[in-house]
Structure 1
């Protein structure tokens, strides 16, 4: 295959975009020529090799040709334009145009001096860093309020964020971005959704991860208790003694009739299996719905009513 770009970046063949970016950052911090003044010739060769590997693997078209046919097919027109053998390039309309290593570096760390050299170093990018990779800014956490209905059924939400990034000249500018959050049924308060490196970009610092922490909004009827749902139902003393059919509206909008035939006493609870919250880690399973009762006693009784009760209850 010729040059093994995956081995150069020390990543697997199934590496995704984030994997490639992390590998490039780590290696380029070690091999940039300005970091190796005593061994500049070797560093320049390594720096260009790392940049070329990232350029190919981060571009879907280049990567597809490389994965299928290797480096020779990718660079056919550069390597042997007058070859008398068969053209190994599977896409004759494709031309491999390698990007400048310093241009790639400037995209990651901000700006150049106009002649291709990165200005990052003059701004103290490696100051106090030594041979260590750049430090990463602490994660930024934000509350993400969700209704009980969203956490019951699942939902898709979009969050608009603003952050600071360097422009082509290295000057900070504010950009806005829309992040999509896919709420899974059964998520609990405290669940974290992480967007890697979506914080502000500053020289010498890897941007912070942006973390949204699920917070449950209070509900007018239901209260969550782990995987269970709890509802408090106030009924009259008559209904407590003679029975009643309760009609509840579930969090997904269904009408749920609940016949209560037992005599309701203080502390009595009706449990309906599998009508609680979805269990996110157990597909298709739900907790229970628990109905607690508050008995409303009459404020006064006539003498005749008292006599009737004594006769019935004695």
Structure 2
């Protein structure tokens, strides 16, 4: 059996990246060769560095999980070609420097001195202030708010210090001004640092708003595109039509449809979607989908006419909607009373 890198770092196989980093940090400081100069410690230090390099890289970790150390160092076939063998570069101090930014065996101590943690001292009790976990709030936005952007006001209640001693707290209201960029996407996090409850023994939590799209009566957003569905009768689906769309920014646009509308057909209108966050002067697409309403009944004369039209289109090389248009138009003319027909030119 090969080396178990998880065992080297004393972590579980399902450990997160943060747990891997913590395990390496603690072991690398403990076995730093500047602290322990015996050969055994140096070998352990090198093995710790190799284990961290493997498990902190998603591809190497995936290969190791499936094929073990032997497969990792031999190379294995992958979905996009052969995965080259992995070999540790043999310089664990290089790994250490990349991680800590220094070769000092007292990296933790230096970090503490350069960035000392905040201390609380309340009623002769001292301790290190720890930051509270973030507080998440959903932020529902209408497509109109997303399209134009702006500032959204949100009222929150939190414990806030009263008095200069910063010991006593009271519940107070606080209004947060949330900036909304035009086109802001769903699940975007907007962070207000340390706006949580104040307390003398801890650092306030961050307040984080997560954007969500509110349902719209006519449109659905997908990325930067707007999608709408329009009902059309079969006649217009075959002969063409002009659809009218009331846009988010209060305009009325008319889109001519000259193609035959079939199930799954989409009409794409460029630059009529939502603003693109990274490119404020550009917009996504407007995608129009159709729901075709078929007639409940067709008289035999109409069926015969359609049958003839499709037959002529077939022998003419295909189902050309121009030919069908002419056939239907000719039928309409023939149905007009001779007295009401226009005189010939």
Q: TM-score, with normalisation over the residues of structure 1?
A: 0.59
Give the Å deviation of 1:171.
Answer: 2.5
Whole-angstrom CA distance in 2 between matches of 1:149 and 1:239:
31
Kept in 2: contact 1:123–1:203 (CA 8 A): no
Partner SS, residue 285 of structure 1: strand
Q: Alpha carbons of 1:292 and 1:229: their partners in 2 closer, same or farther (altered >3 Å)?
A: same
Is the counterpart of residue 167 in structure 1 residue 162 in structure 2?
Answer: yes
Give 1:177's match in structure 2, choosing from 155, 174, 178. Answer: 174
Q: Alpha carbons of 1:29 and 1:218: their partners in 2 closer, same or farther (altered >3 Å)?
A: closer
Give 2:223's match in structure 1, choosing from 222, 226, 230. Answer: 226
Residue aligning to 1:235 = 232
Kept in 2: contact 1:189–1:215 (CA 8 A): yes
Is the counterpart of residue 263 in structure 1 residue 260 in structure 2?
Answer: yes
Residue aligning to 1:295 = 292
Larger Rg computed on CA atoms: 2
Give the Å deviation of 1:172.
Answer: 2.3
Partner SS, residue 283 of structure 1: strand
Q: Alpha carbons of 1:250 and 1:28: their partners in 2 closer, same or farther (altered >3 Å)?
A: same
Residue aligning to 2:183 = 186
Partner SS, residue 300 of structure 1: coil
Residue aligning to 2:145 = 150
Whole-angstrom CA distance in 2 between matches of 1:214 and 1:154:
13
Q: Alpha carbons of 1:267 and 1:175: their partners in 2 closer, same or farther (altered >3 Å)?
A: same
Kept in 2: contact 1:246–1:257 (CA 8 A): yes
Deviation string 1:41-80 (CA, Å, 9 cap, x unpaired) is xxxxxxxxxxxxxxxxxxxxxxxxxxxxxxxxxxxxxxxx
Root mean square deviation of aligned Cα: 1.8
Kept in 1: contact 2:182–2:280 (CA 8 A): no
Residue aligning to 1:69 = none
Residue aligning to 1:122 = 123
Give the Å deviation of 1:174.
Answer: 0.7
Residue aligning to 1:5 = none
Give the Å deviation of 1:166.
Answer: 2.9
Give the Å deviation of 1:276.
Answer: 1.1
Whole-angstrom CA distance in 2 between matches of 1:207 and 1:235:
56
Report which structure shows greater RCO (CA 8 Å, sep ≥6).
1
Whole-angstrom CA distance in 2 between matches of 1:280 and 1:29:
38
Residue aligning to 1:273 = 270
Structure 2 stretches of 5 or more lacking a match?
A: 1-114, 312-345
Instruction: Give the number of aligned pairs.
Output: 195
Give the Å deviation of 1:28.
Answer: 8.9
Whole-angstrom CA distance in 2 between matches of 1:231 and 1:155:
25
Partner SS, residue 144 of structure 1: strand
Report matched runs for 1:41-120 at 5 Å. Answer: 120=121
Partner SS, residue 252 of structure 1: coil
Residue aligning to 1:245 = 242
Q: Alpha carbons of 1:191 and 1:267: their partners in 2 closer, same or farther (altered >3 Å)?
A: same
Structure 1 stretches of 5 or more lacking a match?
A: 1-25, 31-108, 110-119
Q: Alpha carbons of 1:294 and 1:175: their partners in 2 closer, same or farther (altered >3 Å)?
A: same
Deviation string 1:282-312 (CA, Å, 9 cap, x unpaired) is 2311111111112111112122222222233
Whole-angstrom CA distance in 2 between matches of 1:206 and 1:152:
36
Deviation string 1:104-138 (CA, Å, 9 cap, x unpaired) is xxxxx7xxxxxxxxxx43163x23x3xxxx21111
Give the Å deviation of 1:229.
Answer: 1.0
Kept in 2: contact 1:271–1:291 (CA 8 A): yes
Is the counterpart of residue 309 in structure 1 residue 292 in structure 2?
Answer: no
